[in-house]
Amino acid sequence: MTQHLATRFTLYGVLLALALVFSFPLYWMAANSLQPLFTGMTWFPERPTLANYRLAFTLQPYWMFFRNSCLLALISVGIPIITSFFSAFAFARLKARFKGVLFMVILATMMIPPTVTQIPQLVLFKQYGLLGTYWPWIISGLGGSPFIIFLYRQFFMNVPRELDEAARIDGCSTFAIIWRIYMPISIPVVATAAIMSFNASWGGDYLAPFMFLQERQYPLSTQLMQVGYILPSSPNVDLFQVKQAALLVFVLPILVVFLFGQRFLISGIMTGSIKS
C-alpha cells in the first residue's frame, strides 16, 4: 500500500512538473508585459502597470493589424465551413465513378507542403492582379478546405442512412436533405471545423499574407514577426515589455476560443487521426 502511495505521489509530481514546463513561458510573457519599462526581465512584476498595453496600441497601428487579422479569419473560417458541406456530403453519401480517386486527391492535397503551391501562386497572382486583395483567400474558400471536407465526411458517414432515405421517400431533393437534415445535426462538427480553421488562420497564416498582401493589410501574425517595438526618439532602444504586451493581446483570442471550445478542438484532432 505504501509502495502504491509513493508511486502515485511521484506520478503527481511528474504531472505538476510538466504542467509548469508547458505553462511557464506564457506566464512569463504575461508577467513581463506588466513590468515597468527599462527594468529588465522579471519572474514576478512587483509594481505591475498597464502602460505597456497602451504603448503597444499607440506606437504601432495595432488596431489596424488586429482588424486585418479579424478580416482574414472571417474569410478563412466563414466561407469554407459552409462550402465544404456540399463536397463532404457527396463523398459520404453519393455513388459516382472516380469517387475513390477524387477522395485520394483530397487526402493527397492535405499532405502537399503548402510552399510548393504558394510560391507559383505568388507569380500567378501578380500576373492576374490579385496581389493586395483578399481574392486568394476567398477563391480557395469557395472550393472548401480539404481538411474540413474530410472532417465533415467522417461525421456524415456515421449518420444513419435511413434518415435520408426517409426524406427521399417524402420527396426531398438532395439539396433539401443537406439543408434540412444534415446542416442542423452537424453543429458540433461545424464548431470543430470553425475552431480549427480559426487557429490555423489567426496564428498559422503568416507567410501567405507576407507574400500576397501589402504591409498595411498584414495580420498580426505577420506584422508582429516583422518589427519590434522601439522608442520613436531612439530606434536602438528595444521596448521588450511592450512587445510582450502586444503578443499577449495577439494570443488572447486563441486562448479564449480554446477555453470555450477545446472539447470540439480535441474531437477534431482525433477524427483527423484515428477514425480514418
How distant is the alpha carbon of residue 73 from its chain centre?
A: 8
- By CB under 8 A, the count of residues binding other proteins is 86
Q: Which three cell numbers stand for residue 133?
A: 486583395
User: Does 135 interact with other proteins (rule: CB under 8 A)?
Assistant: no
User: Does 262 interact with other proteins (rule: CB under 8 A)?
Assistant: yes
Binding other proteins by CB under 8 A: which of 61, 100, 120, 132?
120
Residue 254 near residue 219, CB atoms below 8 Å: no
Binding other proteins by CB under 8 A: which of 25, 129, 171, 232?
25
Binding other proteins by CB under 8 A: which of 112, 166, 176, 187?
112
Query: Which one of 45-53, 152-160, 185-193, 268-276 is the stretch in contact with other proteins (CB under 8 A)?
Result: 268-276
Binding other proteins by CB under 8 A: which of 68, 87, 154, 197?
87
We find the least distance from the C-beta atom of residue 152 to other proteins, in angstroms, to be 12
Residue ranges in 165-224 that form contacts with other proteins under rule CB under 8 A = 174, 199, 202-204, 206-207, 210, 220-222, 224
Please count the helices (runs of H) and the strands (runs of E) in the chain. Answer: 14, 0
Residue ranges in 232-251 that form contacts with other proteins under rule CB under 8 A = 240, 243-244, 247, 250-251
Amino acid at 13: G
Q: Which three cell numbers stand for residue 196?
A: 480549427
Among residues 89, 204, 216, 194, which one has the least CA distance to residue 150? 89
Amino acid at 4: H
Burial (CB < 10 A; 0-12, 13-18, 19+), residue 184, is: exposed
Residue ranges in 47-86 that form contacts with other proteins under rule CB under 8 A = 83-84, 86
Binding other proteins by CB under 8 A: which of 56, 75, 149, 208?
149
Q: Determine the 3-state secondary structure of 97 from DSSP.
A: coil
Binding other proteins by CB under 8 A: which of 100, 226, 256, 260?
226
We find the least distance from the C-beta atom of residue 80 to other proteins, in angstroms, to be 10
User: Does 10 interact with other proteins (rule: CB under 8 A)?
Assistant: no
Among residues 238, 203, 199, which one has the least CA distance to residue 222? 203
**Alpha carbon distances (Å) from 158 to 16, 104, 163:** 38, 20, 11
Enumerate the H helices of 44-113 as residue ranges. 51-58, 62-93, 99-111
Rank residues 83 and 186 by Cβ distance to other proteins and give the closer one: 83
Binding other proteins by CB under 8 A: which of 18, 50, 163, 166?
18
Binding other proteins by CB under 8 A: which of 62, 66, 89, 150?
89
- Give residue for cell 479579424: 70
